Structure 1
């Protein structure tokens, strides 16, 4: 819905040959929203990594508590065995004294009752500790299972992104060495296309070769619906000098990102809600703007592919 509104606003702006202050302000707001969405995705990935670390730390703490419970149970067992031996010895003494003295018999019976009471208390404490130990063991197993599930999901997502990178690299093999690169890092796939492959200088109209590259990329994305796609437009630091409704490099980068989104949306297998367009102007360079080569690298479109993390989020919320 955000992208459709952005397209309508740009269309009206082109018809009127100028951008009113209100429309430009709206565009700025929508661009800020898109930046926030991108930042939220980054924050969500960091939170998921932090949550995994917390689960692993909790797992280690439960292991330590489990070991302590084992040691306490063993100590109670030793005390129980000692009390049982004392009772046995006193029983023998009781049998001997029973023949010789009623007074000694009475005293021995009293001690015997005390030892029996102690023994019952130790048995009760041992049973309670055994129950606590069993509860800790169950919690430890449950946490261990959740850690394993989380690690398995993350590994599965990484493997899926690896396969996606390979599929994209194969699909765009004809464009390797023409200003196009495909990389995988931080759990995401980055497809970077220099503007010389896509646009004439100062324009946001995609050329025929660029459309062919974007359409081939779209054919791969259509087969991977569980991927969020962020299209970022970038420029060098040379001020925009073209005519028309655009004000500066930021406007140009946004318009170019939107042009790529429009081509991707022509593929019926791509869900529009998975697409986000953003312009970053000259403010995220990958090379120095002091040389023509560096400026050429900075004039680019970055397509950032992120796995959807609904399953991982659901697992974390159940903790």
Structure 2
């Protein structure tokens, strides 16, 4: 056996081992890249949850202060009634009519205490429902650029702001194909909440509309954009039209400074406002509710 016959198998073995190790290394690198992407996505979802939680905490603080003030007033009323009752007991014998009146007053205080507790429970339930809705919407939409869509809770109301650069072409009110996909994801979440009612608002910047045709100004443009969104939600995604409303705000509800290009872009938006179910709270406020 010569030197060539001895070295050839050895070199082949080393080369084969090198190829296998290289493949395993590349596979491990690909798996690490995938895991890193999943980690980044989960971290983003966690940040969204923390932001929504902070907003809810801020809104809840104001409501808790109001409830605390009501509880103080209630405690004061209880003290005054107890003191008055004791004074009457120390005086001459009171009439049966007076005793009945005092009893009714004490019963009313007890009813108001239960009423305040019911309000607290309703507000806590509402906060939980809003948080769940926001998380469902963000989960359905996914990792869309925050500059194009923003979902938030402000003072107990859920808002979905969608930029006009995603929905429409400049000066137009025909919805783009990309926007229809996003609206479909929003519609899927809203459709699973049949009791929810919402309003679609169109907003513009302060640049005067210079187009021709049926539109006269930014008022017209904002209204037409709102009704375009409503029609898509109704006709293409089957949302109940009795649960929707369309409105145009024109340039008169800006959320940014119109003196800069960035501010103008922020103000050009369509906003979906999830309307609070006020009928439930009106029932709590009916004459017999707190008596």
Using structure 2 for the length normalisation, give the TM-score. 0.69
Match of 1:197 among 166, 177, 180: 166
Aligned CA distance change for structure 1 residues 296 and 160 (closer, same or farther; 3 Å): same
Residues 187 and 306 in structure 1, CA contact (< 8 A), matched pair in contact too? no
Residues 148 and 165 in structure 2, CA contact (< 8 A), matched pair in contact too? yes
How far is 1:313 from its partner? 0.5
**2:204 corresponds to 1:263:** no
- What RMSD, in angstroms, separates the aligned Cα atoms of the two structures? 2.9
How far is 1:174 from its partner? 3.2
The SS at the match of 1:247 is coil
The SS at the match of 1:294 is helix
The CA distance in 2 between the partners of 1:54 and 1:196, in whole Å, is 46
**2:170 corresponds to 1:155:** no
The CA distance in 1 between the partners of 2:188 and 2:172, in whole Å, is 25
Q: How many residues align?
A: 225
How far is 1:179 from its partner? 1.4
The CA distance in 2 between the partners of 1:241 and 1:269, in whole Å, is 34
Using structure 1 for the length normalisation, give the TM-score. 0.63
Residue correspondence of structure 1 range 300-315 to structure 2 within 5 A: 300-315=269-284
2:263 corresponding residue in structure 1: 294
Residue correspondence of structure 1 range 24-39 to structure 2 within 5 A: none
Aligned CA distance change for structure 1 residues 291 and 129 (closer, same or farther; 3 Å): same
Aligned CA distance change for structure 1 residues 177 and 58 (closer, same or farther; 3 Å): closer
**2:28 corresponds to 1:59:** no
How far is 1:307 from its partner? 2.2
1:174 corresponding residue in structure 2: 143
1:237 corresponding residue in structure 2: 206
2:111 corresponding residue in structure 1: 142
1:214 corresponding residue in structure 2: 183
How far is 1:247 from its partner? 1.1
More helix, by proportion: 1
How far is 1:142 from its partner? 1.0
* Deviations 1:159-181 (CA, angstroms, capped at 9, x unpaired): 21121111112112232334110
2:242 corresponding residue in structure 1: 273
Unaligned runs of 5+ in 2: 1-62
1:84 corresponding residue in structure 2: none
The SS at the match of 2:208 is coil
Aligned CA distance change for structure 1 residues 303 and 215 (closer, same or farther; 3 Å): same
The SS at the match of 2:274 is strand
The CA distance in 1 between the partners of 2:116 and 2:281, in whole Å, is 11
Unaligned runs of 5+ in 1: 1-47, 77-121
* Deviations 1:64-89 (CA, angstroms, capped at 9, x unpaired): 3322234315634xxxxxxxxxxxxx
How far is 1:129 from its partner? 6.5
Range 234-243 or range 128-137, more displaced:
128-137
How far is 1:152 from its partner? 1.5
The CA distance in 2 between the partners of 1:200 and 1:233, in whole Å, is 14
Higher Rg of the two aligned structures: 1
How far is 1:243 from its partner? 2.7
